Amino acid sequence: MTRFLYDFNSPYAYLASARVDEVLGDGVRWEPISFGFLLRTTGRRPWSFTEAREAGMRECERRAAEYGLPPIVWSEGWPVESYSLLPLRAAYVAQEHGRLREVSQALFAAFFARGEPLGDIEVVARAAEEAGVPADAVRAGVEREEIKARLRDATEAAIAQGVVGVPTVVAGDELFWGDDRLEDAAAIAQRG
């Protein structure tokens, strides 16, 4: 089974989400994980916290244009002030409604195409509703212990498997980190 691991605060995960199904096929399992927790556990410092930040942002903007996506709108305070567990939990609520991909894509669009704050439950609920999951189900669901546990378990499993960043595609026993590694992951996945 091929898995696509992502967090909504990552512009590279946003870019990968726009093409992961096309490159890897419909059998990919989407799996939200907490990048913030992953970073704390591994002690890694992401590029968005370094002097490479501006160059990385321009690269993401270039790729978005290349992929035919709307221009990226960087939310105020990105990446630190914009980080939230709400959209990750909402994605697991959406999974219960059979709409994980659709809600995930709506949340990525809200954040990177419109610059809306995903730490705001109303923004998250509205995006989910637009993608076919009732807003009330999302508002209630993000606080459920079993939803929190699913996110925690997925994140801990990813860390145990050696995942160091998002997006990561897990194909067989191999990890492919980055939007630019989707084709490599597809080659392994096709070998089965």
Count other C-beta atoms under 10 Å from residue 153's C-beta.
Answer: 11
What ranges in 8-120 are assigned the alpha helix state H?
11-17, 20-24, 35-42, 53-66, 86-96, 100-108
d(CA 127, CA 149): 23
Give me the pLDDT at residue 81, please: 75
Give me the pLDDT at residue 82, please: 79
Model pTM above 0.75:
yes
Q: Is the dihedral of CA 80, 86, 92, 94 positive or negative?
A: negative
Give me the pLDDT at residue 175, please: 97
Q: Contacts by 66-73 with C-beta closer than 8 Å and gap 24+?
A: 67/15, 67/18, 67/19, 69/15, 69/18, 69/113, 70/109, 70/113, 71/113, 72/11, 72/14, 72/112, 72/113, 73/112, 73/113, 73/114, 73/115
Structural tokens at position 33: 């994980």
Give me the pLDDT at residue 192, please: 64
Give me the pLDDT at residue 46, please: 82
3-state secondary structure of 75: coil
Rounded to whole angstroms, what are the CA distances from 56 to 31, 52, 134? Answer: 24, 6, 36
Q: Are 167 and 4 in contact (CB under 8 A)?
A: yes
3-state secondary structure of 41: helix
In the predicted model, residues of the chain with pLDDT beneath 50 are none
